Structure 1
Amino acid sequence: MPIVARANLSPASREEHLARLESATLEYPLDVLVIGGGATGAGAAFDAASRGLDVGLVEAGDLASGTSSRSSKLIHGGLRYLQMLDFTLVAEALRERDLLLTRTAPHLVRPVSFVFPFARKVIDRVFIGSGVALYDTLQSLGRRRAVPLHRHLLHDKLMTVFPALDGSKLAGAVEYHDAQVDDARLVMMLARSAALHDAAIATYTRVIDYVREDGRVIGVKARDEETGHEFVIHAREIILATGVWTQEQQEIAEAETGLRVLASKGIHITVPKDRIPAKAATGIITQTEKSVLFLIPSDEYWIIGTTDTPWTEDVAHPAATAADIEYVLDHANEILASDLTREDVIGVYAGLRPLLQPVSKGEKAASASTKVSREHTVMTIEPGLTAVAGGKLTTYRVMAEDVVDHAIRDSFPDRPSLTASLPIVGAQGYRELTAQRSEIARIREYDLVRVDRLLGRYGALLPEVMALIDTDPSLGEPLEGDERYLRAEVVYAVRAEGARHVADVLMRRTRSDYEVADRGAGAAAEVAALMAPELGWDAEREALEAETYRAHIAARLAGEQARDDASAAAALADAPEVPRRA
């Protein structure tokens, strides 16, 4: 198989990868099996495979279908952690941010500026300014800067940069820089990078049991959720990277020890770009009594969030309530000159942060999840089974490196990590292609906005998408339900990016579920029609896929009218993202 083609997560490659996993026997096991297809799991598979190990990854749903597609879309040092005096975590996160910006994922991660407004002219300027100055200092230690230095803005300058703010409440601001990313695409590209290094990637493959021999975990029993086929995968080392599902997997493994993870819900809303006028693509960060509030510029809309509340419902169904949405709107309106209302909201999404519990077994858990550390922990759960939890999106690579180091420390002690210098698929050649953006726009008759979107989604892989259009010009047309995306992107999502269902495309390969007012429901039938010949669907299955997605969106909208988590979660429980297996 050609080297580039190995990175494709196609329907055929899924069958091949499943067969490879099933062929991993007790005599010829995988070196490493990763359970979990979020940022840390995909990162661990990439890390281990790039060390030359025989690697497999299984994920019960789609890549990034949990927490890793529902973040604030920021790659950042965590300015607020300076208040907790967690300098090590901030410095680590800043280093990782700069690696992504400059070396490993410049096609997916891009700089973004923020203003941190303050009300008290002297006290806040000194306090906030000192914190941001320290933030800048930590990112300058021992390396070239990847983003500009911060600057102070007096009141009049702040209002010039951000006229949407309520100037009567503010005395000035500090402007600083971080970075942003489409989180789900980052995870998908990590999985493709792992596949490029010959890892076997199988989504919709659930671990239902663990296999032991002489007190050691030597494999798992897995089930293909699309066919019901059950099989055993043997591996020398197994890594559990399942986020808020960690305790569930530990219970399946009947582990006597393990990590305790607290699920904390964070929700975000999106509103049209013109509802918050700004002179440039600059965001806002401010502190609330419970968390921080970000107003983040992204394409033609703003992402606003987040909340931080304990979640005690089924972790499979995180849901935003009316109270959550009102909380975000109320806090945004405290600093905006013109109030946002529910009618302004385009989309809403909710995710669960996997936070390590800071209490011993038997002790009462802390009620305020915001006090839980964001640092990650790696732990041997049972011989042969290692778990990782905690952390945040920005530090996924460090978490992946640490858990692989820990898992293989006895089996393969001479295999150091390479991912600090190894580009993610699509990075190599990205800058050269970006230099041709005007020529691409001219040849394809696209405006530069579309070309920049495409380059920011595919990087150096963009010619692969364009090749589909050259073969079938109809694929060069925009989707009727969301014109940000081309029809070719749906076909490419199936042929190369591992998409198996309409929800995979509309919620993770594109982001229609929060970018357009109907949450992608209007595009569902067209997307299903494009996917059908690629996946061998008949007319009945094609219609079922579209209807299942529309029903899921209707349930999310119903949940957003509920006042409590239990009601919102219950609505989603009856309306899965993808069709249930017959």
Structure 2
Amino acid sequence: MSEPVDLLVVGGGINGAGIARDAAGRGLSVLLVEKDDLASHTSSASTKLVHGGLRYLENFEFRLVAESLREREVLLRAAPHIIWPLRFVMPHEPEMRPKWMLRLGLAFYDRLGGPRSLPGSHGVDLRQPPHRGVLQERLVKGFEYSDCWVEDSRLVVLTAMDAKERGATILTRTECTDLDRSGEHWRATLRDASGERVITARAVINAAGPFVDQVAKTALGSGTPAHLRLVKGSHIIVPRAFAGEHAYIFQQPDKRIVFAIPYERDFTLIGTTDMLFEGDLDAVTISAEERDYLRAAASRYFRSGIAEDEIVHSFAGVRPLYEDHSAKNSTVTRDYVFEVDADDGAPILSVYGGKITTYRQLAQHALAKLGKHLPIPGTEWTAQAPLPGGDMTDGDFSRFLWEASENYRWAPPEMLQRLARAYGTRIEAILGGASGLGDLGVFFGRDLYSAELEYLIAHEFARTAEDALWRRSKLGLHLGAETISAVEDWFAARFA
């Protein structure tokens, strides 16, 4: 890259990937660098929801909720394989929030943001199946409403894939160690396993998530006027706690809410927490206090409760929230703010805050903001463009899965369901040349073959077993230690 790129994006989370995709689609030359793997920090540690943010209504963030609800529809159309509707059931606890407040809030939620494809809210009798016997007997009435599930890290990867297919260069495990403004350009020092090199860029977007303050300080010395509040959110995973494809949303005495969501067919995901974080951003883990909090939160509602030894896995991430000086971590805005510094020449835009649901709008707004300092060709285009694998007829996943089952009759149904959900129409790149399981290469166990790993390397930037088993998929939850070790050995030999 001897010629300057138009735009250097620092950060391979959802915001960085979204900005790179939008900019590349408008004709800019784009380079995205991520010091680790794509989605290896905050963007793979979410509650896995594309949602309007029902609880944000209590904080009067009506614009954010309306934008999120509109984006929920856009993303559902763009990626129906990794995003799908989910019904949420909220038991009513009179001492938490009065029934009239919940009913009014849900009625507002149903109407805010314009037309939608998902069914609205209604009351539910918790004494009837599938809730009877699952929830504690004191819980009699509740409310049900719609939002969406998302495979969060796959959303990042697919967005980065689309950026690459539109001309962007995506470099993972490449750290931007220095940024030096020289007139109308930035000189960026990049370091990867092979050493250091310097590239030049006409503009920089700092989308480094929890590391955004660090990157801003590297570039500007004193950073920017905006700052982050780093809030850790943790989740636990337990064996399937209830039947059905619905999720629960549990109100807590501290006014927070905790979700219990069907996860990977065999499990239930419970989260999240809100704790101020001041530790090492490269070593974020759940604390014993958080584990206890989440177990107690679920046990307050589930008849059987959640024991410590039932936790099969946990994960934690740090939310890079814009510091608005709220008294509680749970009420800090999930909206986004941009800081632009262009006084001394080439511009740098730093992104503070944001959430998965609004990443596409954030990208549009970031480029509009940058456009005041750098010519941005083209117009907004991402609202109607599917992500890789999402180009299904009428966005109908069920129809697509039926067609796939006809095309690949030799594939076991459970395997085909998983691959279709992960790769959508790109499943052909894995299965298209095969006429049986024996054509898929090395068999590792369950339904994992080396053909899928080769696809992840060739198209989805995977370089390690962890990339493949915990971010491109969640197979790590299902495979035994011996199988995981075999996959690790395969990757080591593949990149030897």
**8 Å contact 2:26–2:376 — kept in the other structure?**
no
- 1:437 correspondence with 2:401: yes
1:114-153 correspondence runs (5 A): 114-120=88-94, 124-139=98-113, 141=114, 143=115, 145-153=116-124
Is contact 2:10-2:208 (8 Å) kept?
Answer: yes
Q: Does 1:165 align with 2:120?
A: no
Question: How do 1:149-548 and structure 2 match up within 5 A?
Answer: 149-157=120-128, 160-214=129-183, 218-224=186-192, 226-227=193-194, 229-258=195-224, 259-273=226-240, 276-278=241-243, 280-288=244-252, 289=254, 291-298=256-263, 299-359=265-325, 368-382=328-342, 383-429=346-392, 431=395, 434-435=398-399, 437-438=401-402, 440-441=404-405, 443-467=408-432, 469-470=434-435, 473=438, 475=440, 479-480=444-445, 483=446, 485-513=448-476, 515-516=477-478, 521-532=481-492, 534-535=494-495, 537=496
Partner deviation per Cα, 1:480-536 (whole Å, 9 max, x = no partner): 3xx2644432222112211112221222112244x24x8x6433322124334543x
In the alignment, is the contact (CA less than 8 A) between 1:237 and 1:408 conserved in 2?
Answer: no
CA contact (8 A) 1:270 1:304 kept: yes
CA distance in 2 between partners of 1:64 and 1:33 (Å): 18
Q: Is the 8 A contact 1:265 1:353 kept in 2?
A: yes
Quick one: which amino acid aligns to residue 261 of structure 1? L
1:523 match: secondary structure: helix
Contact 2:422 2:473 in 1 (8 A): no
1:293 aligned counterpart, secondary structure: strand
Q: CA deviation at 1:93?
A: 0.4
Give, in whole Å, the separation in 2 of the partners of 1:511 and 1:293. 22
Within 2, Cα distance between the matches of 1:478 and 1:95? 43
Distance 1:521 1:254, change over 3 A: farther
Bigger proportion of residues as strand: 2
Question: What secondary structure does 1:222 align onto?
Answer: strand
Residue 7 of structure 2 is aligned with which of 28, 32, 36?
32
**Is the contact made by 1:33 and 1:56 (CA closer than 8 Å) also made in structure 2?**
yes
How many pairs are equivalent? 488
1:191 touches 1:201 (CA, 8 Å); kept in 2? yes
Change beyond 3 A, Cα 1:523–1:401: farther
CA distance 1:478–1:271, shift in 2 (3 Å): farther
Q: Which runs of 5+ in 2 are unaligned?
A: none
In structure 2, do the counterparts of structure 1 residues 436 and 165 end up closer, same or farther at CA, with 3 Å as the change threshold?
Answer: closer
CA contact (8 A) 1:66 1:351 kept: yes
Q: Which stretch of structure 1 is more off in the superposition, 109-118 or 402-411?
A: 402-411
**Partners of 1:169 and 1:335 within 8 A in 2:** no
CA distance, structure 1, for counterparts of residue 490 and residue 434 of structure 2: 13
The answer to whether the 8 A contact 2:158-2:388 is kept is yes
Give the TM-score, by structure 2 length.
Answer: 0.92
- Provide closer, same or farther for how the CA distance between residues 343 and 445 of structure 1 changes in structure 2, counting only shifts above 3 A: farther
List per-residue Cα deviations over 1:345-398 (Å, max 9, x = no partner): 111000111111125xxxxxx663223211100111354111112011111111
2:37 matched residue in structure 1: 62
**Gap change, CA 1:354 and 1:343, over 3 Å in 2:** same
Query: Structure 1 474/427 Cα, relative in aligned 2: closer, same or farther at 3 Å?
Result: same
2:236 aligned counterpart, secondary structure: strand
CA, structure 1 residues 439+460, in 2 after alignment: closer, same or farther (shift >3 Å)? closer
Given candidates 71, 87, 99, the residue that maps to 2:74 is 99
Structure 1 residues 469 and 271: CA distance shift in structure 2, 3 A: farther
Q: Is the 8 A contact 1:40 1:399 kept in 2?
A: yes
Q: Which residue of 2 aligns with 1:23?
A: 2
Would the aligned equivalents of 2:299 and 2:306 in 1 still touch at CA under 8 Å? yes
Q: Is the 8 A contact 2:160 2:170 kept in 1?
A: yes
Closer/same/farther in 2, CA of residues 504 and 132 from structure 1, 3 Å limit = same
Residues 1:324 and 1:318: Cα distance change in structure 2 (over 3 Å): same
Please say if residues 485 and 510 of structure 1, whose CA atoms lie closer than 8 Å, have aligned partners that are also in contact: no
Amino acid at match of 1:271: V
Matching residue of 1:549: none
Residue 220 of structure 2: SS of its match in structure 1? coil
**Contact 1:441–1:447 (CA<8 Å) still a contact in 2?**
no
Moved more, 109-118 or 376-385: 376-385
Q: Deviation digits for residues 375-433 of structure 1, max 9, x if unmatched?
A: 10011135411111201111111111111221233322553221111111111136577
Gaps of 5+ in 1: 1-21, 360-365, 538-582
Letter in structure 2 aligned against 1:38: G
Q: Structure 1's 433 and 354: CA in aligned 2 closer, same or farther, altered over 3 A?
A: closer
Asked if the contact 1:491/1:534 (under 8 Å) is kept, the reply is no
C-alpha distance in structure 1 between counterparts of 2:433 and 2:274, whole Å: 43
2-structure distance, mates of 1:432, 1:153: 28
Q: CA–CA distance in 2 between the matches of 1:39 and 1:269? A: 22
Q: Residue 403 of structure 1 aligns to a residue in which SS?
A: helix
Q: Distance in 2 between matches of 1:262 and 1:296?
A: 27
> What SS does structure 2 have at the residue aligned with 1:37?
coil
Cα distance, 1:164 vs. partner? 4.6
Instruction: Report SS of the residue matched to 1:416.
Output: coil
Identify the residue that residue 556 of structure 1 maps to in structure 2: none
Amino acid at match of 1:23: S
CA distance in 2, matches of 1:31, 1:522: 46
Q: Which has the higher helix share?
A: 1
